[in-house]
Chain A
Amino acid sequence: MKKILKINIIGLAAFLMILQSCGKMDVSPSDKVTTGSISNSTDGIINVTNGNYAMFKDVVSFNGFKDDNNEYLRQYFQMSTFAGDNIVCGSRTEDPLYYSFTYTHSPSQANARYFWYVSYKIINGANTVIDILKNKKGKDALNRQLEGENYFLRAFCTFNLVRFYAKPYNEGDPSVNPGVILRKSAEEPSAKARASVKETYDFVLSDLKKAAALMDESRGKAYASKEAAWAMLSRVYLYKGDYDNCIAYSDSVINSGKFTLETSASFPTYFANALNRSETIWAIAFTPADNRGKFGSIASMVYSDGNSGWGEEFASKSLRTIMSKHLNDVRWSYIDTLYTDNGSIAKKNGIEIFYITKFSFQDGDPNLSSPVMFRLAEMYLNRAEAYAHKGNVNSALADVNKIRKNRGLQNSLYTSVPTGKTILDIVLNERRIELAFEGPRLFDLLRNHRDIVRNYWGYHIPGLTVSDIDLSHPPTGYPNLVIPWNSSKVQYYIPVDEILANPLCVQNP
């Protein structure tokens, strides 16, 4: 009986301990914060702002998992450049990047869906900060800077969306053509219609002006700044066809004194070191921990040292042709020809291999770079294009020459427009070479109502097989060699996910 009593007591004690150990049932995640607690400190606001930048370079989980291919910047460069005429496709691939070459887009293609999704995720993050700071009184300089950065990021993402998913501003009526969905707060109802192209531009411009006014405490080239907002105003006004404002904001950046052009000597090492160079206005910082390697880096598709990447897309024949007049142009340093042992140019699936190295060699790594979003050269070239449209030939040529002087072409400056060319041809050619592979080429063509001409051998030609390729003459009689600038195929489809879940959103034709 004594024993029983003893066991009883032990049992009771154990029982009480058990009840004690249950504790409370609320479980907080160890590596996340609740949305409501962000506003409690400036730290919270800085972290969210940093997170908005991080999403440009991070692989964000999509469809429940992280696909190394899914990175904002990788999709941004591929969706723009691969649809243009500077890069040729050297191999068919399962990767949806292939559809940008072939113009066989669909509402369910993964890269365009991811790009749309992460753009709005960044906008949601930006809105979270804007919602907190918008009506706050007595903000210090840091809080004003952070609020400005978030207006800037919202504008940047919205503008890239309208470039991919809507018609150019000057095609048809921008106040009728659908633009994109404008998210103005993190607390909006989930279903919302697309604004018009004009409303979208107005929203972007208004955000950028607020951003420029708020940002006085620059956090460095890895972050948005007052000058970055001006640089983007220059770009948006150019796309809008408001050339005076484009010139004005280009001037603001150029005259700020904060940036200088890389020289012929320094340009070949510029992109590997963009964060530390004075030409850079804003670049997305990649640290070694952000190296996506072969399976996700931007470089992987366009360069390989034999092991580092897939290396399946190359500088196009038509780009090389216009560059071939000046072999001393230092911009050739970003095109790396692969040779075979016998000295001939190596081929992949019958296509000659000209690797592209604008996204390589930060810290010497073939897959690492901090991609440049805005740099001074673009300001000169934006201004040049604006002058060209306004008929101010001399000013346009001066800006073009300013670039050429710093690219090894000091002996090949323009004194006048060559016969058979227009000043716009000269500017667009210079833009094509200078900004090659950085994204704007496709939009330069669309904005200026020029067709996308890809009359070179490559796997953008449907059904092409190796045995069809004869490099001694250009391909003829194949479909897809010319995409008219006003073809509806040029715009990406609104992702199927948006259409299904948002009944107010209309699809592109």
Chain B
Amino acid sequence: MLMKKILLIMIGVFFFSTGFAQITGKIFDENGEPIPGATVMVKGTSNGTTTNSDGKYSIEAKTGDILVFSYLGYQRQEISVKTKNIINVYLTPKIINMKEVVVLGYSNKTKTEISSAVSVVKAAELKTVTTNDIGKMIEGKVAGVQVVTSSGEPGSEAQIRIRGVSTIKPGNQGPLYVVDGVIGGNYDPNDIASVTILKGAGATGLYGARANKGVIIITTKTAQQSKPSFEFKTSIGVRIADQGHLKMMDGLQFYNTTKELYRDTINHKIDLVKFYRDYPRELSTRNYNWVDDAFNPALVQNYYLSANGRKGGFSYYLAGTYYDEDGTFMKTGYKKGNVRLNTKYQFSKNISLKNNINISNDYGSSYDYMDLYYTYLNLPWDNPYDSTGAPRYVDGKTKGWWSRDHINPFNTIKNSDHNYSGFSLDYDIVFNWNITKWLSFNSANRLSYSTSKSHDFVSPVAAGTYHGKGYIHERQDNWKSFITTNLLKFKFQLKKHSIDGLAGFEVNNSYNNFISVEGKGLPVGFDVPAVASSEQIINGSNSKEIFRSLISQVNYNYNSQYFLTASFRADATSNFPPDSRIAYFPSIAASWLVTNMEFMKPVTKINLLKLRLSYGLTGDPDIGASRYMGLFSLNTQYNNYPAAFPYQLQNYHLTWERTNEMDLGIDFGMFNRINLTVDIYNNITNNLLVLASQPLSQGFQYRWENGGTVTNKGIEISLGGQIIDKKDFNWSLNVNFSKNGNILSGLEKPIVSTVNGISQIYRNGAQLYTFLLPKWLGVDPQTGGPLWEKITKDSNGNIIKREPTSNYSEAAPQEVGHALPDFYGGFSTALRYKNIELYAGFTYQYGNDVYNFVKQFMNSDGHEPYYNYMVPESGWSRWKKPGDIATEPSMQNNNLSTEPSSRYIEKGSFLKLNSLTFSYRFSQKIVNSMHLKGLKLSIEANNVWTWTSYSGQNPEVTLTKADWSMPGVSDFRYPNNKQFVFNVQIKF
């Protein structure tokens, strides 16, 4: 190496003497980071050099020579030497970079070695959306990952489902998070270096015990180079509530709608005399827009400052972020500050110690559901404000108030608070010792502590149930966790055989407790529990969860052509009874890298062809502590004395929910420019943890049992390509498509779950989240009344007749739709011309049904004469006289028309322009003149437009099955945001 350098210098000296010029410059990666060790050659000669640690190079060349810049994993660039002596170069990464290291948690591998379904999203790809939530950042970018943004509340998180839904129990249905190789943990999105998503069993295998729902691995940034370097990024933008198609009526529209109540049932004429008597004409001119007043443009800001560098054996990354998001709805917002310090100290060649610390603090102002409810439903005839412009006090005795329930939500909002704050601390210490050339020991440990506090306060001056008394409720939750992973890792290479692996154990203890206090009888002007003088209630308890695991894995590869990975882990959790606490999770994965075979050498157009096959078991113990015990709860009192009530039936056989995951995949690349990945999978989840229905007459509604199977089958396709790839002009396109089919089997009997009167059925042969409702057959043209479908069955249960009925109770519930989409995905395109870049990202979803619950209230057919109506979508019409073909029933003949039925089921398919970004990177010359390393400006728009036929706010509705929420049901909710942001990124 040294000899080569000397030789190069000598050649340089020789050329210099014959009229050659000295060309110098720097080589940068796509993020503007200098690349050390990149190669610079003069084309057609052996004249070449490499960049130093700051990415600088210097080479002799003459005018007309062509310089070739290259670096592993990046595309070669050729530049001809003209008159300039300084040539700075940006290299763009190759789309397929097989040497790239992928973080898999317990171990890292190159892409070549991976035999299962893994997706990686790099930092640069995440930053197309300004948000504090990782879910929104990966939305539409990864095949097999469904991201649903169902709320625009500040600080809210999107819901993520990887390869469908594999569980039917309430609670967490999202993936397992791993930060810097250790399960759990907190991070700031600005600190993310890369995100790895594990989908197939071969890869999820090592997290098998908790990996049923997929794994998202987050790796935070570390030192990049030796010289201290800094980055400052700021984003400032504005958000606007996205009400979708939903628009409430104005005063006149509502006035005319109310007239329908006075249409007589014989002549079908509106009795205007009676109407004007009851509803003075003046009302039609009153026009207070509650929704416009309640929702206002809001500011979003994000500031990030980081420093990193290396000195001797010590390297560091230090970053601070401040995120501040105002809510579009009155008095809501979210703020978060985060500090991270990642350091590594290399004691000696073989021993290193890493310390990562993350501290975060957040504060949010939330809202009360009922305040949102009345904002939409109060009438445009009622003025929320008094003559001074303050929100009016309104109660049941207020005269001249038209809206139902006599509540002014703006007054309530002004006189109440719903705040929360949180603090978290994560401390990681990772010790690594290379014992011998082939054996190393690695111990990764994390101590986490987090606490959160909520504060709900209603002043005694607020109208409503707490008037004159006030109400305060505070709750503090504390959570503490300790996890240690200790692994011996080995690695051998014997000619063409290479083998490596690991074995070790993991212990994870987590503790949580809460304390809550509430009370009434507050003096005006005070909002702490100490001043509550009556009805004080205290609550609090604690629990813990213990995991112990043995972990092992072996990887083998032959000549980088054939790969085999086998892993095995045994896990025990305190959530299950002693005899069924332990479960085993084996997995195996194999792949064949065809392009590394001798016979493929002549085929140069195909640069990648790899076949993958994986199979394994994963698990889900996520039901909380003590679910197997027979219990009486002491969490009540009678007449101020302790009391215990029957709480839970025992089941000493309860055990893990487990998934058999099978995945077949192919990676294919052509011309170094096109990349195609296709995976098909079949995931069978057995032993579903279900709340099995009991006869209520036992005194228990459910018992936790294992039973039933969910099968998720699907196909995922990602296609990416550089369509144009020139020095000054790039155009790339990425498309992904995911189709997941979902079916239940093996359930002993169907489970029907009902929330707000809306039912879904879980039965063998049906997919999850299937709506079970009376079928709406529209409006009877003769009577104007609602019609549903009546089904007559014979003694064998076969349907012998279907006919319309106007009697709701005769309409049998039927399966009328499902909340999960048939397919979904995203596509994006990026254009670069010189320093200007344009990016557009779309997401789409097709085939899911949404239950428009709010429409039951917002289009009440006269059932609720004092609630406002939504402006009808085109195509809706109200029945007025016999013979009308109408969609909405007569207000005179509306009996039970707004009861739950398929009337409220709508198509939830959509296409969304999720992100549109325009950015400008200042040329290195200008940047240098400002003594900076990089400067980039960008303007970004998020959630720009949604194409959908859905009549409500947004077809993206919750997929969370919880006791109070049903997947696919659109309740009153905080609308999503359209967002417009200006970003500045400076490196120095």
Contact = CB atoms under 8 A, between A and B. Distances in A.
Interface of A: 3-4, 7, 11, 14-15, 18-19, 21-23, 25-36, 38, 44, 46-48, 50-55, 57-58, 60, 62-65, 92, 94, 104, 106, 108, 110, 113, 116-117, 120-125, 128, 180-181, 183, 186, 188, 190-192, 222, 285, 287-289, 291, 293-295, 304-311, 340-341, 349, 367, 462-463, 465-467, 495-498, 500-502, 505
A124 B699 contact: yes
Contact of A47 (B537, B574, B634, B863): B634
B697 A467 contact: no
26 contacts: A7-B433, A19-B507, A21-B482, A25-B546, A25-B574, A29-B626, A33-B632, A34-B629, A46-B641, A53-B643, A64-B963, A65-B963, A108-B754, A120-B696, A120-B699, A128-B632, A288-B535, A289-B535, A349-B865, A367-B465, A462-B896, A463-B894, A465-B891, A495-B696, A500-B749, A502-B695
A285 B638 contact: yes
Interface of B: 170, 261-262, 271, 274-275, 278, 347-348, 351, 395-399, 405-406, 431, 433, 443, 463-468, 482, 484, 486, 507, 509, 534-537, 541-546, 548, 572-574, 578, 581, 625-626, 629-648, 650, 691, 693-701, 749-750, 752-757, 759, 808-809, 856, 862-865, 891-896, 962-964
Contacts of A23: 546
Contacts of B433: 4, 7
A122 B630 CA distance: 16
Contacts of B541: 29-31
Given A27-B574, A35-B631, A505-B695, A289 B626 contact: no
A293 B631 CA distance: 29
Contacts of A92: 863-864
Nearest to B692: A501
Nearest to A286: B639
A163 B606 CA distance: 80
Nearest to A65: B963
Contacts of B641: 46, 50
B697 A116 contact: yes
A505 B467 CA distance: 47
Given A28-B626, A29-B543, A34-B630, 9 more contacts: A7-B347, A29-B629, A30-B541, A46-B641, A64-B963, A108-B754, A289-B536, A294-B465, A367-B465
B464 A32 contact: no
A365 to B, nearest CB: 9
A310 B749 CA distance: 40
Given A108-B754, A288-B535, A183 B963 contact: no
Nearest to A497: B696
B697 A51 contact: no
A456 B405 CA distance: 24
A63 B754 contact: yes
Contacts of B572: 25
B645 A60 contact: yes
A99 B512 CA distance: 43
Nearest to A108: B754
Nearest to A10: B431
B867 to A, nearest CB: 11
Nearest to B637: A54
A181 B398 CA distance: 50
A31 B695 contact: no
B354 to A, nearest CB: 14
Contacts of A60: 645
B536 to A, nearest CB: 7
A306 B468 CA distance: 12
B634 A33 contact: yes
A22 B699 CA distance: 37
Interface centre among A51, A57, A117, A309 (most CB of B within 10 A): A51
Nearest to A53: B638
A120 B263 CA distance: 49
Nearest to B547: A25
A47 B631 CA distance: 13
A498 B696 contact: yes
A501 B291 CA distance: 46
Nearest to A59: B636
Contacts of A19: 507
A113 B696 contact: yes
B695 A192 contact: yes
A22 B509 contact: yes
Given A3-B347, A51-B632, A463 B892 contact: yes
B640 A501 contact: no
Contacts of B756: 94
B546 A27 contact: yes
Contacts of B755: 63
A27 B543 contact: yes
B535 A38 contact: no
B664 to A, nearest CB: 38
Contact of B701 (A18, A26, A117, A222): A117
Contact of A285 (B574, B639, B863): B639
Interface centre among A28, A48, A306, A498 (most CB of B within 10 A): A306
A190 B545 contact: no
Contacts of B467: 306-308
Contacts of A124: 646, 698-700
Contacts of B406: 306
Given A27-B574, A33-B632, A501-B695, A47 B395 contact: no
A295 B631 contact: no
B270 to A, nearest CB: 10
Contacts of A305: 396
A349 B755 CA distance: 28
Interface centre among B635, B699, B701, B893 (most CB of A within 10 A): B699
A91 to B, nearest CB: 8
B695 A54 contact: no
Contacts of B633: 31-32
B733 to A, nearest CB: 46
B809 A104 contact: yes
B963 A31 contact: no
Interface centre among A54, A116, A192 (most CB of B within 10 A): A54
Contacts of B463: 307
A341 B399 contact: yes
Contacts of B347: 3, 7
B632 A35 contact: yes
Contact of A287 (B640, B645, B699, B864): B640
Contacts of A306: 395-398, 406, 467
Contacts of A495: 696
A286 B581 CA distance: 43
A181 B347 CA distance: 75
A57 B642 CA distance: 14
Contact of A51 (B398, B636, B753): B636
B639 A50 contact: yes
A336 B433 CA distance: 82
Nearest to B544: A27
A32 B647 contact: yes
A311 B406 CA distance: 11
A188 B700 CA distance: 13
